[in-house]
Structure formats: C-alpha cells, structure tokens
Amino acid sequence: MKMYYEKDVDLNILKNKTVAVIGYGSQGMAQSRNMHESGLNVVVGLRKDGASWKKAESDGLKVMTVEEASEIADVIHILIPDEIQGQVYNESIKDHLKEGNTLSFSHGYNIHFGYINPPENVNITMIAPKGPGAMVRKTYEEGFGVPGLVAVERDYTGDATQIALAMGQGSGLTRAGVLKTTFKEETETDLFGEQVVLCGGATELISAGFQTLVEAGYQPEIAYFETCHELKLIVDLIYAKGFAGMWNDVSNTAEYGGLARRKRIVTSETRLEMKKILEEIQTGEFAKEWATENNAGRPMLNRLRAIEADLQIEKVGAKLRKLCGLQK
C-alpha cells in the first residue's frame, strides 16, 4: 500500500499549466472551485449556455465551451457522467489533444472498458475523491479534505503521477491521504461497492426490513425509524470507529443479536451472488449492459426509478423527514 500526503506533493508542477475541468456537476463544481482557490489556473468546459454556465461564472470561474477549454488546456479533467464521456470525448475533446497533455478522470470506467481510447502521446491519469462532491467542497472549506485515490494508466511525460497528485492537493485530498491504485482496481471495486453494498445492497436490505415489519402489523413510521432512520447513526459509528467501536457503543443486546444472526441475512447464497456480480463487472458484461440501456433511452432505469418512487418506505420517509425537520 502506498499513501501520499501534502509533504509528498509539489503543487508547482502545475504552476504554468491550465487545468480544464469538463463538467460542473457535484464533483466538477467541488474540484474546480477547490483547485481554483488553491491557486491553480482552472477553466471549466461546458455546453454553451447550458444550465451550469452561469452558476460556474457566478462562482468566480472562467467558463468556455468544451472545445475551447480542451484547446488551451494542458490537463483535461473529465467529470461528466460515465455514460456520455465517450461521446463528448470523441466530439469535443479528442481533436484538441496535443502531445504531452494529460487526460484525467475521477473514475476509470471509460478508460478501463475501452469507451475512450486516447492517443499514445498523452498521459492518462486519475485522481478520485472518496466522497461526494458536497463533502469534497465542505471539508476543503473547513481546512481539511476527503481521502482520495490516484492512478496512472499511461505516463508519457514521466511526471504523470506528480501531476495527478498536485490536482489532488489542489482539491484538498492529500490533507487526508491519497492511496495509489490502478484504473482496473478502482473501476471494478467502485462498481462492486455501489451495486452490492453502498447503493444496491443497502437500499434492498432497508426496504426488505421495513416491509417485513409493516406486513407483521407494525406502524410504518416505527418501521421506518428502526430500519432506515437509525442506519445513519450506525454507519457514522462504523465510519469513525470501525466495527469494534460501533459494537462498543450500542447495547449488549444489540451486539449479541447482531453478531449471532447476521449470517442468517447475508447467507452463503448471498455471497455467491456477490461473486457473480463481481464477475459481471470484471468481464465487462455490466458495462455492455449499461451501454445498451443508454443507447435504448434507459427504459429499464426509468421503470426502476418509477417503482422506487412508489415504494411505501419512500412515502413514509418523506413524511417523517418533514415532520422531524430533516427535509424541507
């Protein structure tokens, strides 16, 4: 394991370079503002007169089209959604790349699965915050940062790692620490975590627990508090103290019940399914499925979104969050 911190980075490597951040969503906004306020020469590349154009300008950033930003940039940092990166790269970035440029990402998806194929005479790097854009910005403003990952797929100029790390320092990541990885490892583990634990697994577990209690006759509001609301409290404990620290802070009853019964929930069959999902990611099967879904106009995703929005737990949760002042 290799970790990089502030002392390992020289921000001056970007002193006379222009960093073009393509996109101004959650990550684009956070990273571009942080790097700009760290003294880097940052421009933002957006669709002409798009929704984010005025927002980026009002945040004090220089804004231009993706083509214009790519033409003047030494580093092109692509922070638009995975599913449109290939098209935007081919239409608006590729022809503006020059020898020695750095093509940078915060997720290895399009490079690893071959949807973007840069020329041989440019660097390909990744600097990836391990946290949402809002947290990247918030912790930076507080004088700290979120941890990050750094990877180099191609080091044409010989200093690609230092360029990526300098961007990480500009975003505040080296304050917390940046872990060295590869495009393959970051992409495959990120997709697995999203699908099996963080997004897919967690929401299905919450929903199943909620429905079990409701079907047994308990109040939906009580079921929501017990299966969803309190989850954040437990996750915060694990985040700060690890499993052992969490167990220490809950009751002995909770600790015994959780430890004694958790394998009845995540069974050997569940673990086999996790391995199947990982294999689908590793072989590129999921990436092909997602590309097909996007090309068809996302019919399945739209259906799944509609189903999710209609869940009882969503309606109960919205009501309770409003009543408790957690959501306006």
Strand partners of residue 126: 105, 151
* Among the listed residues 110, 287, 99, 82, the one whose alpha carbon sits nearest the alpha carbon of residue 192: 287
Contact 208, 215 (CB under 8 A): no
Contact predicate 63/118, CB 8 Å: no
Residue 96 annotated among the catalytic residues of the structure: no
Active-site residue (options: 96, 107, 112, 229): 107
Residues 119 and 109: their CA atoms lie apart, in Å, by 17
Question: Can you read off the two tokens belonging to residue 19?
Answer: 């960093």
CA distances from 115 to 83, 87, 112 (A): 9, 9, 8
Distance CA 174, CA 6 (A): 5
Burial (CB < 10 A; 0-12, 13-18, 19+), residue 306, is exposed
Among the residues of 8-125, which ranges form H helices? 26-37, 53-58, 66-72, 82-88, 109-112
- CA–CA gap between residue 86 and residue 53 (Å, rounded): 21
CB proximity list for 84: less than 8 A, separation 6 or greater: none
The residues that are catalytic are 107
